[in-house]
Amino acid sequence: MVNLIAQSNVIVLVGMGMTGQSAARYLTNSGRRFVWVDTREAPPALDSVRSQFPDANIELGDLKEDTLLAASEIIVSPGVPLSNPMIQKAVNAGVPVLGDIELFLREVKAPVIAITGSNAKSTVTTLVGEMAKAAGKMVLIGGNIGVPVLDLLQQPAAELYVLELSSFQLESVNKLNAEVSTVLNVSEDHMDRYDSFAQYYMAKQRVYFGARKVVINREDPLTSPPLAEGVQQFSFGLNVPDRNGFGVIVKGGQEYLAFEFKALMPSADIKMPGRHNIANALAALALGHAVGLPMESMLQTLTQFPGLPHRCQWVAENGGVNFYNDSKGTNVGATLAALKGLQKDSGKIVLIAGGVGKGADFSSLKDAAAGLRSVVVIGQDGAQIAAQFEGLLPTRSATTMQEAVELAAQQAEAGDDVLLSPACASFDMYKGFEDRGDHFVRVVKEVVA
């Protein structure tokens, strides 16, 4: 096999996950030469990679300094931290290091909506996409949801791109130059990757680099960017809006979504359940308005869009107890949002939580104790969650999802909700949050049937 490292103008591609494979397809279709490296000796996708790319020059195991320093540029998959010592050596040597987002931005001409945040990214991204479709736009959605961005380039060119971006993806972005960007919210997450909360927060802020317009959350000061002059700002929040703001107002005893001082539609007409989804609807309206989507079609979409699976998804009702699947609640902030969203005047919540905590601080879960009847914990870090409620609430421990649902159903009273919102990743027991949520749904239907 030809030794590409010895030749000039060769790209080094780091990582063999979904993003790495999409980058390999992009480079192959572009006629670009690359060397593919992975820090794992036996990546799970290796057989598939060799089948799809039989001529690929592959290096496995510890990254080699000579390989990286000889590169014209290094494309790093989101799962590989830029703090890797070998990658840092390449950065210090002046080798350009970038991710798939940067490559994508080199190619597209249409406006881009860039969405990040600790929670609700997928819901808001999908909702904005649906609003654009309702307005007759040719829109493509991708990034951290669904299709990797470089695979979007294989589809007919769009009039608008809506991208969900994770902090991992944003680490390698130098200047996003989106038409409109937002950080929906910021709460502690991925502390197993970042040295501090400040480092994680700064990664999220990179979504604003070069943005022409920005959307901020009025109720979360950490979403505000260090604005450059001339950047138009819109806002959303579950309070009364001001200029260029989307929020809620009360007229005649009824709550309405509003833009500035004008009522738009009753909040009760939104199809997505939960108060946190009113905030998500307002965020989507602000983003759509910023790129000129017609208000009428956006409001119509809100009456039809049911939300995404695994995000406070209603599953079943039995004996006056409703069961909800919020398996996508993989951090503390998401779980708190789900609990707040389901709060009501009567009835309480039995919470099922636990899994891989990713180094998170669970102490703020205590803030929701007043609305809980009890907590059932599962998984690797379930005991850490149970400890937060010691002396405040009854807690029970389960070894399986079946046992957790049965315990929760026993403790719930008529008018209560049973909520799976783990505040943790799922990889100790499941392939991913979807697998966990699907299992919960199956078990609930068996238990309450």
Q: Where are the domains of the chain?
A: 8-98, 103-302, 313-448
Output the six-digit token pair for 196. 């501090």
Question: Would you call 14 helix, strand, or coil by DSSP?
Answer: strand
Per residue in 9-19, pLDDT (tens digit) is 789 999 999 99
In this prediction, residue 439 carries a pLDDT of 98
The 10s digit of each residue's pLDDT in 264-287 is: 999 999 999 889 999 999 999 999
Q: What is the C-alpha to C-alpha distance for residues 148 and 40, in angstroms, rounded to an integer?
A: 22
Q: Can you tell me the mean pLDDT for 237-242?
A: 96
Nearest in space to 270 (alpha carbons), one of 296, 308, 307? 307
* pLDDT over 90 (residue 2): no
* Per annotation, catalytic residue among 57, 119, 137, 144: 144
Q: Is 439 a catalytic residue?
A: no
Mean residue pLDDT of the chain comes to 94
User: To 10 degrees, the CA torsion angle through 259, 314, 123, 16?
Assistant: 170
Write out the H or E segment, with its range, that includes residue 289. Answer: helix 276-290
The encoded tokens of residue 241 equal: 């809006």
Alpha-carbon gap, residue 344 to 415, rounded angstroms: 10
Residue 190 is among the residues annotated as catalytic for this protein: yes
First to last CA, the chain: 61
- For 103-302, the fitting CATH number among 3.40.1190.10, 3.30.70.1230, 3.40.630.30, 3.40.50.2020 is 3.40.1190.10
Query: Which residues make Cβ contacts (< 8 Å) with residue 337, sequence separation at least 6?
Result: 119, 120, 185, 276, 329
pLDDT at 228: 67
The sign of the dihedral angle between the CA atoms of 415, 422, 121, 237 is positive
Task: Label residue 103 left, alpha or beta by phi (over 0 means left) and psi (-120 to 50 means alpha).
Answer: alpha
Residue 8: the pLDDT is 54
- CA distance readout (Å), 282 to 48, 181, 186, 268, 423: 42, 15, 17, 13, 24
Q: Sort strands 395-397 and 372-377 into parallel, antiparallel or unpaired.
A: parallel
Angle CA 414–417–418, to nearest 5: 115
pLDDT confidence bin for 449, thresholds 50/70/90: low
Mean predicted confidence (pLDDT) in 232-252? 97
DSSP string, 18-52: HHHHHHHHHHHHTT--EEEEESSSS-TTHHHHHHH
Band of residue 333 on the pLDDT scale cut at 50, 70, 90: very high
Count H helices and E strands in the chain, helices first: 15, 20
Give the per-residue pLDDT at 3: 47
- H-type helices in 12-146, by residue range? 18-29, 46-52, 65-69, 85-92, 100-107, 121-134
CATH architecture of the domain with range 8-98: 3-Layer(aba) Sandwich (3.40)
Q: Find the catalytic residue in 119, 185, 190, 217.
A: 190
Nearest-10 Cα torsion for 156, 161, 166, 171: 90
Task: Please count the other Cβ atoms lying within 10 Å of the Cβ belonging to residue 96.
Answer: 14
Tell me what the mean pLDDT of segment 146-156 comes to.
95
Tell me if 365 sits within 8 A of 336, measured CB to CB. Answer: yes
Q: Quote the DSSP letter at residue 63.
A: P
- Answer yes or no: is pLDDT of 229 > 80: no
Is residue 398 within 8 Å of 407, Cβ to Cβ? yes
pLDDT at 4 over 70: no
Find residue 113's DSSP bridge partners. Answer: 162, 180
Residue with tokens 């080094």: 12
* Single-letter code of the amino acid located at 437: G
Q: Please report which confidence band the pLDDT of residue 148 belongs to, taking 50, 70 and 90 as the band edges.
A: very high
Among 121, 204, 213, 439, the active-site one is: 121
Q: Mean pLDDT, to the nearest integer, of 327-336? A: 95
Q: How many CB atoms lie within 10 A of CB 444?
A: 22
pLDDT at 5 over 80: no
Contact assessment for residue 334 and residue 310, using Cβ atoms and an 8 Å cutoff: no
Q: Hey, CA dihedral for 43, 46, 49, 50, is it positive or negative?
A: positive
**Tokens at 369, concatenated:** 């104790």
Q: In what order do the strands lie in the sheet with 321-325?
A: 313-318, 321-325, 417-420, 349-353, 372-377, 395-397
Residues in the chain: 449
Residue 252 CB partners (closer than 8 Å, separation 6+):
none
Share of the chain above pLDDT 70, in %: 97
Alpha helices in 366-400 (DSSP H): 382-388
User: Do β-strands 160-164 and 232-236 pair in parallel, antiparallel, or remain unpaired?
Assistant: unpaired
What integer pLDDT is reported at residue 9 of this predicted model?
Answer: 74
User: Whole-angstrom Cα distance, residue 393 to residue 375?
Assistant: 7
Options 3.90.190.20, 3.40.50.300, 2.60.15.10, 3.10.20.30; CATH of 313-448 = 3.90.190.20
Per cent of the chain over pLDDT 90 is 90
Nearest to 215 by CA among 132, 104, 117: 117
Mean pLDDT of 192-200: 93
